[in-house]
Every structure is written in structure tokens, then in C-alpha cells.
Amino acid sequence: MSTSTRTGAGTATKVAGFAVVLAVVFGGAWAAGAQVGPIGTTAEADNATHSSGHSSGDSAGADTHRSEQPEQAKQQEDDMSNTATTGSATLPGLAVAGDGYRLVLTDTTVEPGIQPVAFSIEGPNGQPVTEFHVEHEKQLHLIVVRRDHAGFQHLHPTLDETTGTWTADAELTAGNWRVFADFTATGGPALVLGADLLVPGEVEAPATAEETRSDVVDGYTVTVDGALAPGEHSALTLRVSKDGAPVTDLQPYLGAYGHLVALREGDLAYLHVHPGGEPGDGETQPGPEIAFGAEVPSTGRYHLYLDFQHDDVVRTAHLILDAGRVVSSDTEASSDSGHGDTDHTH
């Protein structure tokens, strides 16, 4: 593997692959892109994959999702430089550096397959950080997501404390990937830094995504109730069932019955989503419902990735919600406060 820290394109073949991928992936982004496809499992001990066919019975009807594609694409272009540290980078995950810390990928091009992704977090003194706070039972949470949402993994890399290098095996398919490190260095603020990772090869044209309120993964059905209202606290309730029966014995995973990562489509702004309770607090039940509170910064489409554990396996469901859009002619969803039981069927 190349040890170059910037382009990593050491051969003519790689250069050609780079050009092809960029062309295809950018095309997908403009086409309002994207998702559907296998989502990797997130359990380190479980290398099996599952595909999560979005059997979206949740047809969005005649709605045509007018969105801010030009603006989103512009943000994405800005962001693709991997150098933004200010401006729109006030949202977590948009910048590669912030508050003196920088995410440095060892290789910015990685071949497809199950591959080690290595990186370090450089501190204000320019040296790799080796001491981190534990959050949700881990010192650092690593999210790798394909920009067209055709792949997602939540990983927990291993730190070499002598060099400050983190490494995790990721399952990568050809495409443009975004890598997020979610961490708190000792003595520093909580940060989410993002960097781009290229996996060369031919990329299939992504299917057009619709709002998706139900996903099936490994026989588990996950649905979401609630609405995202820009700039407001929005309550979301996720429900897990299997074979038609509610799952009432979810297992705690990293201190919660579910972990939710929300990414804004287009620029992949990373949102913190807070669980509504925790195992052992005397109130929070182990399913079938998992409550979250989210606040999205704008209208637009948001991809929600729920990690949940049952029968000792962590699985990931992928749901898609549109924030603040008009649902139909007689209902103004944009005025919803989003507290749970609004009817959003079409």
C-alpha cells in the first residue's frame, strides 16, 4: 500500500481509476443521489455482511424532493479539498481540522476489499495525540461512509500508543468515502473531523433515494416515527421488530440500546444524536422502541444509521428523513414540531 499522505496515486493505472471514480461519483451527487445497497455490519468480531434492501414500501408518492442540490454540491466541492477549516465547517465533520487538531489519513487512496484504514490525530503541537477521553466506552469512534451512502461502517480502531496511529479494518467498495473521527483528546474539546478516502474502481450508478422510514436488515425491521424540524429539537422513535414481533430484549451496545449517526446528504455534515435514556436508568426499556433527540441545522435530506445489538450481533439500519419539506398539498410538514406521532404517511 502506498505510504503517500496526499494523493497516493503512484501509477498510471491508479491515476486513471481516480479520474473515473471522481467523474462517476460527482455525477451521482448531482443526480440527487444515492443509496441502497449493502451496509456493512459494525461489530468488529463479525465480518459477515448483510445487505439491507430498502424494501421501501414507503413510497414518497408524487413528491419530488426539490432540494438545494446546487448549494449542496458546492459545499461538497469545497469540502472535497480536505483543507477547509472555517466557514461552512462550523458543523461537525465538515472539516479535516479544528481547534488545533487535525485528522491525518496515512493513505488517502485504499484498494477495495477489507482493508486497514490508518490515521492519526495531530494535536496543537503538531504531534500525534496518544491520550483520549473515553466516550461511549471507546476512546475514538470511526465512521466510514460512502458519499453516495452505499456503504456505512461504525468502527472502533486500535491505537498504537507509541506512534499515535489508529488502525481499523474497513470493508471498502469502489467510490468516494468519507472518514469521520469522533473523539475527545485529553485536554481538548469534543470533535468530529472528516477526511476523504478514495477507493479506486468502477462505481455502479447509485439508485435514487427516497425518504425511507423502514429498513430491513438480517430479518429485523426498523422503522422511524417523528419528523426532523430544522433548528428545533426533534424527537425520533425507532422501533425494532423481528418476524413481525417487537424485539423487547435489545442488548446494550456501548452503553445504550441504540446508537444513531445522522449525516446530511450532500456535504455529509455529521450530527450528534442523543439517546433518550440509557440501560439501567430504571425507565429505559430494552426495545422495541429506542428514543432519540436530534436537532438538524437546515432543511434537506438526512441519512440515519442506527446501530443496535440483539443476539450478540450488532446490526445497522439505514433510514432517510427529509427535514422541513412539504409533505402534501393539505399538510405542511414544515410546521411540525416533530414530537413523535405526526402522521407522515402519504
Contact 148, 30 (CB under 8 A): no
Taking the least distance from each CB to Cu ion, the nearer of 14 and 272 is 272
CA angle 241, 289, 252 (to 5 degrees): 90
- Name the residue among 308, 207, 267, 215 with its Cα closest to residue 68: 267
Minimum separation from the CB atom of position 230 to Cu ion (A): 26
Q: Which of residues 272-311 bind Cu ion (CB under 5 A)?
A: none
Among left, alpha and beta (phi > 0; psi -120 to 50; other), residue 195 is beta
Minimum separation from the CB atom of position 260 to Cu ion (A): 11
Taking the least distance from each CB to Cu ion, the nearer of 197 and 229 is 197
Taking the least distance from each CB to Cu ion, the nearer of 141 and 301 is 141
Terminal CA-CA length for the chain: 50
Minimum separation from the CB atom of position 198 to Cu ion (A): 24
Q: Which three cell numbers stand for residue 50?
A: 448483510
Taking the least distance from each CB to Cu ion, the nearer of 67 and 251 is 251
Q: Which three cell numbers stand for residue 337?
A: 414540531
Taking the least distance from each CB to Cu ion, the nearer of 32 and 144 is 144
Minimum separation from the CB atom of position 45 to Cu ion (A): 14
| Residue span binding Cu ion (CB under 5 A) among the ranges 77-85, 139-147, 218-226, 336-344 | 139-147
Contact 54, 36 (CB under 8 A): yes
What type of residue sits at position 174?
A
Q: Which three cell numbers stand for residue 210?
A: 427516497
Contact 41, 306 (CB under 8 A): no
Contact 274, 153 (CB under 8 A): no
Minimum separation from the CB atom of position 143 to Cu ion (A): 8
What type of residue sits at position 66?
R
Interface pick for Cu ion out of 50, 54, 102, 141 (rule CB under 5 A): 141
Taking the least distance from each CB to Cu ion, the nearer of 141 and 213 is 141
Minimum separation from the CB atom of position 140 to Cu ion (A): 8
Q: Which of residues 162-191 bind Cu ion (CB under 5 A)?
A: none
Instruction: In whole angstroms, give the CA distance from residue 218 to residue 206.
Output: 22
In the shown chain, the binding pattern of residues 97 to 136 toward Cu ion, with x for contact by CB under 5 A and - for none, equals ----------------------------------------
- Name the residue among 157, 159, 99, 172 with its Cα closest to residue 129: 159
Taking the least distance from each CB to Cu ion, the nearer of 44 and 225 is 44
Q: Which of residues 46-105 bind Cu ion (CB under 5 A)?
A: none
| Total of residues contacting Cu ion (CB under 5 A) | 1
Contact 271, 233 (CB under 8 A): no
Q: Which residue is nearest to Cu ion (CB)?
A: 141
Minimum separation from the CB atom of position 72 to Cu ion (A): 26
Residues near Cu ion, by CB under 5 A: 141
